[in-house]
Structure 1
Amino acid sequence: MIEFFKKYKAFFIGLIIIPIFYFLDTTKYLNIPRDQPFEVFIITLFWWLVIALPIHHYKYLITKKNVLLKVFAIIAIFFVALVIDSYMKVPDNPITFTLLLVFWLGFAYIIAPKFFTKYWKLITLIYAPLLLYFFYLRLLSGNLDAYLKIKENFPIYIFFIPIPLFFLVWVFEQWKWLQNLKNEKAKTELSLLRTQINPHFFFNTLNNLYALTIKNSKQAPDVILKLSDMMRYTIYEGEKETVKLLDEIEYLNNYIDLHKIRYKKSVEISFNYKDVNLHLTIAPLLYIMLLENSFKHGIDTLSENAFININLYDTNDAIFFVIENNFDPNEINKTKGIGLENLKKRLSLLYNNKHELTIDISNTIYKTTLKINKNA
């Protein structure tokens, strides 16, 4: 919303025309007819745009001399129409009326050329029949008295009705632009968050692999294969909007297996996913952050009897991922990592108001539950 106000602040500045009109009317320098609200609205709209649009397009105008020439040209058309109207003193002068219509359409083209080009067929479809009908009534329906009598049932301001309608369409176009901007911003932020996943894990695993190859360990080929699968999954599957739970589970199992290789102490890790539909889909690389935290702040802080219990299951309306680990309260890492905050941001972007992330800490047990609605 702040970006919207910044982009269109000129139109808020243009609203100064309202207190100006009110002041001029109060001081009797201007007579605002109380019985013609529509005409007052059209005139106010016109002068509002005259003030706001040059301010809004100031940077553009000062760099485009041809645009400035067009602006001066349509202003000249406007004043020519006023001079002709005051000189000829003919009610609803067709010449004046045509010039004013050209002025309005030229004004619309200058301020929003892309919009005008996009909807020129619709504009022509609306204005051409109206203009032809006006000429017919004004020139071919009889004398001036006959026209004025017809005009009572055909108010001339009907020609200006499309102008606020087109303005509303333009506002809608700008609203769509703002929504697209928000979506693009969210996609960019989401892409950035994905790049922050697990870089240290891969470096640590490569170091472990280096140690295994030096020792000619039989585990080395298996580590290479699992690490390769994880890197492929992170790079390719991680860019997808959703993946099957089966693939996500395989990724988590590889992560667990690679960690087990480097531990010489007693570690108990259980991963239960018997009660979940493996064909359900979910955004990739969500659970890995919680699992990584369990290792980093749980098992890595304990010298013995460390455990991680994971339970993945689904109900009629949601998928649950529950992970529980013990930790040493005296070895709490006081530095705030990016993992959990990263996860919260991704969840808000992907499953806003359609997820629940709860954390329970009791003595030496840390338990996290992530619930994601199936209709998200």
Structure 2
Amino acid sequence: MKKKYIVLLHIVFWVLLIINTSYNKFTLNLFSSYLSVPHDASLYIKYLLIETGYTLILACCFYCSYLFIAPQFFVFKNYIKAVLYIVCTIVFIIVLRYVLEYGFFLPVLGFDNYRGHEWPLTDFARNVILYYFPGYFIYGLIFFFVENWYKNSRRHQELQKEKLTTELAFLRSQVNPHFLFNAINDIYALTYQRSEQAPEALLKLSVMLRYMLRDGNEDFMPLNREAEYLENVIALQRISAKGVAYVNFIQEGYIGDQQIASLIFIAFVENAFKHGVLNDPDNPVEIYLHADNTGIIFYVSNKKNNSLKDTTGGIGLNNVRRRLQLTYADKHELVVKDQGGFYMVKLVLKLSQ
């Protein structure tokens, strides 16, 4: 909240306190100095001015405690300075009350709080220390403690959010260069062979780069954009494999504007292409996407290519698992199976309603 709004809230609180207290005392006619005075609007103004003066004393107790004393206790641990501020606050309040009582209330408003008996400063000091100071002094300490705890909590949350954003950006950056490297190699091979498919492949790559470098940097993207991106990846793979890449991409349900973590599926698809058998029509790479407004199911299955050994390594499931943990926490389920010569990944995401 902006500082000016906080100040406004403080002002509103004290004004409401003054109005409420003065009105209650005016209604009950509690000031003996005004028992014979007509109960009218001019009398209420006097009540209002008197309560404003007494509330000013309370406010001084509160803000001296909140702004000066509490920080020395809780933040700087300077107890000597804190005690010095307490003494100065008490002295200031004693003088302020004395001036209000005998410099304004009695001569200007005709309000004699002591019924003709002038109090010495020692009595003022005892009354202030025992009555005025303790309550609002403690309120100031409590208010500072709660506010400081809230600010530290907010700061911690912001730091955690910033750390999360930075980590997610790093994880996404691990995805992009890896796929880019493979795609450029494929297009280079097509160009070297003077394939007629090279221009189309280059166009597909251009579309994907635009998405990866511009849109893919967003935390979330519409599901239909992610599906379109996967379609381009598959099309580029088929081109680079000279049409002998058998890939089935099935989309069911509502593939629309559901928000999903950007580039979250590409790791599974890329690993299937990289480590799977693509030229077997009886065992094609199966990619399945089903979605509605409540959740998404993404499934990839491929026959393992045991003869292909890639020493450069891949993106790895650890990267994807970490992104899912950071982005979806307990709203996802990831199942990985490696058995019978086949590799299968199933990801279930629960979307917020």
Correspondence for 1:98: 91
Quick check: 330-339 or 282-291, which moved more? 330-339
Identity level (%): 31
Cα pair 2:258 2:293 within 8 Å, conserved: no
Measured in 2, the distance between the counterparts of 1:76 and 1:318 equals 57
Residues 1-376 of structure 1 correspond to what in structure 2 (within 5 A)?
53=76, 75=81, 78=84, 81=87, 97-98=90-91, 132=96, 136=100, 141=114, 142-144=118-120, 154-161=131-138, 162-263=140-241, 266-299=244-277, 306-315=283-292, 317-328=294-305, 337-375=314-352
Measured in 1, the distance between the counterparts of 2:232 and 2:161 equals 33
Structure number, greater radius of gyration: 2
With the length of structure 2 as denominator, give the TM-score of the two structures: 0.64
Measured in 1, the distance between the counterparts of 2:203 and 2:349 equals 31
With the length of structure 1 as denominator, give the TM-score of the two structures: 0.61
Measured in 2, the distance between the counterparts of 1:159 and 1:138 equals 23
Measured in 1, the distance between the counterparts of 2:99 and 2:352 equals 59
Q: Structure 1 pair 150/343, CA: closer, same or farther in 2 (3 Å)?
A: same
Measured in 1, the distance between the counterparts of 2:215 and 2:95 equals 59
Q: Describe the superposition over 1:53-75 as per-residue Cα deviations: whole angstroms up to 9, x where unpaired.
A: 26xxxxxxxxxxxxxxxx89x84
Q: Structure 1 pair 167/279, CA: closer, same or farther in 2 (3 Å)?
A: closer
Quick check: 248-257 or 203-212, which moved more? 203-212
User: Which secondary structure does the structure 1 equivalent of 2:196 belong to?
Assistant: coil
User: Which secondary structure does the structure 2 equivalent of 1:299 belong to?
Assistant: coil
Q: Structure 1 pair 361/213, CA: closer, same or farther in 2 (3 Å)?
A: closer
Q: Describe the superposition over 1:346-376 as per-residue Cα deviations: whole angstroms up to 9, x where unpaired.
A: 1122111111111123312222111111207
User: Which secondary structure does the structure 2 equivalent of 1:347 belong to?
Assistant: helix
Q: Structure 1 pair 222/133, CA: closer, same or farther in 2 (3 Å)?
A: farther
Quick check: 149-158 or 335-344, which moved more? 149-158
CA RMSD of aligned residues (A): 3.9
Number of positions where the alignment pairs a residue of Structure 1 with one of Structure 2: 272
Cα pair 2:298 2:348 within 8 Å, conserved: yes
Q: Name the structure, 1 or 2, with higher relative contact order (CA <8 Å, separation 6+).
A: 2
Ranges in structure 1 where 5+ consecutive residues have no aligned partner = 1-41, 55-70, 82-94, 102-129
Q: Structure 1 pair 154/231, CA: closer, same or farther in 2 (3 Å)?
A: same
Q: Structure 1 pair 184/138, CA: closer, same or farther in 2 (3 Å)?
A: farther
Ranges in structure 2 where 5+ consecutive residues have no aligned partner = 1-64, 104-112
Quick check: 288-297 or 135-144, which moved more? 135-144
Cα pair 2:98 2:124 within 8 Å, conserved: no
- How far has the Cα of 1:47 moved from its partner? 11
- How far has the Cα of 1:303 moved from its partner? 7.9
Quick check: 180-189 or 336-345, which moved more? 336-345
- How far has the Cα of 1:219 moved from its partner? 0.5
- How far has the Cα of 1:215 moved from its partner? 3.1
Measured in 1, the distance between the counterparts of 2:286 and 2:304 equals 13
Counterpart of 2:270, as a letter, is E
User: Which secondary structure does the structure 1 equivalent of 2:248 belong to?
Assistant: strand
User: Which secondary structure does the structure 1 equivalent of 2:263 belong to?
Assistant: coil
Measured in 2, the distance between the counterparts of 1:303 and 1:270 equals 12
- How far has the Cα of 1:338 moved from its partner? 3.7
Q: Structure 1 pair 360/149, CA: closer, same or farther in 2 (3 Å)?
A: same
